[in-house]
Amino acid sequence: MTTLGDQHRTSTFKPRRRPLSPSRRALFERLSVSLCLPVDGPRFDPVGEFGGAAPLVLDIGIGSGHALTTQAAAEPGIDVIGADVHTPGIASTLARIESMGLANVRLVHGDALRFADRLAPGSLDGIRIYFPDPWPKARHRNRRMVSAANVDLFYRLLAPGGTLHLATDIDDYADMVLSLCGGHADLDGGVVDRPAERPVTRYERKGLDAGRVVTDLIYRRRAR
């Protein structure tokens, strides 16, 4: 059977192995049971998982989870799945979900594009990609999260009217998004002013401190 994620097997991340401290490991094991969704498995059932039919957002590459948890706390009516392959970042995010008492967040510890196989077409109201890995070398461009195949995957996962929101501080990444999303027949959008609801992320802060300029882009799936 062909699945939505089948075209996405070029890895978009570098494996980083940093072991957790014993206390972080214990926290990870305790909280991941209820808060982490398996990467592989049957079709994801948002109502069964969150207990209601709220808008659903997938946040890809959450890093340490500061922005994810800040935004989720400000938007309790939106259910969010945050994905990252980086174990210490997932552990930090689990700790923040618990300390902030967030009921509207679940995490995926693994490849978001593989988890996408579990999502029904048209089931997402939003996809957030805040500061994807830049992969600056020309020979690594095919590892970028935004590619023609992935844009088509994101489009198919979005409900009509759903949005893809990407932020980057790499000019040529923004140009690539403009070209790939702008060239998609069923997506409308482009560069926007920084939305007030998007928190400054950890990675963004470093770029701002280094004088880099951030571009936000939002594309909406056309309703038809």
Ligand X SMILES: C[S@@+](CC[C@H](N)C(=O)[O-])C[C@H]1O[C@@H](n2cnc3c(N)ncnc32)[C@H](O)[C@@H]1O
**Where do contacts with ligand X occur on this chain (CB under 6 A)?**
12-13, 60-63, 83-86, 89, 111-113, 130-133, 145, 201-204
**Closest separation in Å from C-beta 56 to ligand X:** 17
Buried b (16+ CB within 10 A) or exposed e, 151-183: bbbbbbbbbeebbbbbbbbbeebbebbbebbee
**Closest separation in Å from C-beta 137 to ligand X:** 15
Q: Determine which one of 6, 79, 111, 133 is catalytic.
A: 133
For ligand X, give the closer residue by CB, 102 or 107. 107
From residue 96, alpha-carbon distances to 6, 26, 132 in Å are: 33, 15, 22
Q: Which residue is nearest to ligand X (CB)?
A: 61
Q: Find the helix or strand (DSSP H, E) in which 217 lies.
A: strand 215-221
For ligand X, give the closer residue by CB, 56 or 83. 83
* Residue 106: closest CA among 41, 52, 163, 34: 34
Q: Which residues contact 183 (CB under 8 A, 6 or more apart)?
A: none
**Closest separation in Å from C-beta 128 to ligand X:** 9
From residue 122, alpha-carbon distances to 81, 88, 161, 188, 220 in Å are: 15, 31, 10, 16, 12
For ligand X, give the closer residue by CB, 79 or 204. 204
Q: Find the helix or strand (DSSP H, E) in which 128 lies.
A: strand 124-130
DSSP tag of 21: P
**Closest separation in Å from C-beta 51 to ligand X:** 25
Contact 205, 183 (CB under 8 A): no
- Known catalytic residue: 169? no
For ligand X, give the closer residue by CB, 112 or 180. 112
Count Cα neighbours of 130 within 13 Å in the Cβ-side half-sphere: 28
**Closest separation in Å from C-beta 146 to ligand X:** 11
Catalytic amino acids?
133
